[in-house]
Chains A and B, each alone.
Chain A
């Protein structure tokens, strides 16, 4: 049995997910909560946000994110990749900073513009 606090809405239901019984969810107040619980137990993912170096006096860092959620277990590995990046302006929102993380469909993309 795995336990989670539901984050779908502010109510914060305490979910119990039975991983030995087809991931049956109890403690949820709605169907979205049940879906969240199953997902967290089976395949938790997160959008990762961070920043990378930029060759700019005015803006030494540019904020980035993964354009889709990645496996929670890949977060630390993904962070290390960012150490080696340095962007050269101009940077535009949505520019790909690191493409197809670990061979997946996820990319790190810039989340702001930097002109100079």
Chain B
């Protein structure tokens, strides 16, 4: 029996887990994917928003500035990569300049500090690649960028360190109230991990390594989790979770946003802060922003889609994004693209975050759309307060251990590198040459509270494969280390989610030679 079950290990769920781990509570964090931050939390613009955009009467408006400041503080405390870049909202004509005035007032009402509207020439003196057609821009000095998946992961790691149970590969399929607790029916995919699924299959003598077979081979087991309280942080699935226990109150409108990631070494210093166009009803528009890895993100567009998990990119959207981005940065060269990706945002018919106690012992932190990443720590604070009012929060843990320090070879000062590597030889072998990530960093990531189970899991934790070669060089090496350190067969190492197999068999094995009839 748990005191609190958090459904969804996106950035909101992780922030809540972090917050609750500070109390004497039995908390479980339930996630349908094999890692934290697998939905919108990992495919977004990675911006800590300044707080000028949401209207003051909304929850988004009320929580943004608080969230922003807590984000920066948490990034410091948990050693999450971030940069306080500041951001600009640019205006191309007098009508848009008027919008800036409105945003300025809105920002002040929301608690932003240091906002100012500057003329185009001043803007260009600070961001020389911006279009000559920009007449003015709103400067938001407090905002910045961060590593979004590391942010979620760092909070989850501290939570797990302090007793929170993390259940990956566990999809909630039903929930019922039983006198004093919820019974949460969950479907456990691969009985814990993808790798063990394949291994059990192997024992049954049905070993077939083709990818479709590997997926079919993932046994699913129904399990029941009991918890007195349930917190719905299920992101794009949050309406479905809500509807399991309460009358429908909102519908998620899955909204896909596509992106380019441009190579910083090839593209040059395009911008040094986040550049937004003037917002419209469709959202904040196509943004050009630096990343903490020294690259640049361009996007997202905004497209309502039927399939909540459809993170494909499309030719038309990418062409459209490139064209719109060039209005802001005319010499933007998408030929320096190293990756395209898409995220599905949890927009909803409600129009604001849906945060409420919607049923007995059931708290919705639902329909968290942008600026949800920024607001996550403030949303977690509200969840804690609701639980406090319910009398759930007993004492604070006296043995709570916060904080987090990550050794990143790149950050070690020149003068200290030789001594450090002498002491820790694994940091002397560079595995990812584009990002200069060492074997020491990869092995260390596997020894932390939530070890990676996939190539992309290592990527999110260490930065391997983030760069221009996109894992072409380091992929096989990361796979080897992952297999060695986890004790799994290389054949069972996945790229990302369960079923995303990489290797399908060995050469010189007659089974690899079977002609597949499809």
Binding site for B on A (CB under 8 A): 51-53, 61, 80, 82-83, 85
- B204 beta carbon closer than 8 Å to chain A: no
Within 8 A of A (CB), among B129-163: none
Chain A min CB distance to B212 (Å): 24
Which residues of A have CB within 8 Å of B509? 83
User: Does residue B415 face the partner (Cβ distance < 8 Å to A)?
Assistant: no
> Is B114 engaged at the interface, CB distance under 8 Å to the other chain?
no
User: B-side interface residues toward A, CB under 8 Å?
Assistant: 507-510, 513
Q: Roughly how many angstroms separate A85 CA and B509 CA in the complex, as a whole number? A: 11
Give CA–CA (A80, B507) in the complex, Å: 11
* Chain B residues with CB under 8 A of A52: 508
When distances are taken between beta carbons in the complex, the residues of chain B under 8 Å from A51 are: 507-508
CB-CB under 8 A from A80, the residues of chain B are: 513
A contact residues around B508 at 8 Å (CB): 51-53, 61, 82-83, 85
> Which single residue of chain B is at the shortest CB-CB distance from A79?
B513
A61 to B509, CA, bound (A): 12
Shortest Cβ gap from B272 to chain A (Å): 46
Nearest CB of chain B from residue A50's CB, rounded to whole Å: 8
Q: Determine the chain A residues whose CB is within 8 A of the CB of B513 once the complex forms.
A: 80, 83
CA distance A83 to B511 in the complex (A): 11
Chain B residue nearest to A60 in the complex (CB)? B506
Tell me how far the C-beta of B275 lies from the nearest C-beta in chain A, rounded to whole angstroms: 49
9 contacts between A and B (CB under 8 A): A51-B507, A52-B508, A61-B507, A61-B508, A80-B513, A82-B508, A83-B509, A83-B510, A85-B508
In the complex, what distance in Å separates the CA atom of A80 from the CA atom of B514? 12
Shortest distance between the CB of A66 and any CB in chain B (Å): 16
Sample of 10 more A-B contacts, CB < 8 Å, known A51-B507, A83-B510: A51-B508, A52-B508, A53-B508, A61-B507, A80-B513, A82-B508, A83-B508, A83-B509, A83-B513, A85-B508
Q: How far is the CA of A101 from the CA of B495 in the complex (A)?
A: 40
The listed residue with most A CB atoms (<10 A of its CB), out of B507, B509, B510, is: B507
Among residues of B, the one whose C-beta sits closest to the C-beta of A61 is B507
Q: Which residues of B contact A61 (CB under 8 A)?
A: 507-508
* Distance A51 CA – B513 CA, assembled complex (angstroms): 15
Measured CA separation A85–B508 after assembly (Å): 9
Please give me the 5 A-B residue pairs with the lowest Cβ-Cβ distance, nearest first: A83-B508, A53-B508, A83-B510, A82-B508, A52-B508
| Least CB separation from A52: chain B residue | B508
Residues of A within 8 A of B507 (CB): 51, 61
Q: Which residues of A contact B510 (CB under 8 A)?
A: 83
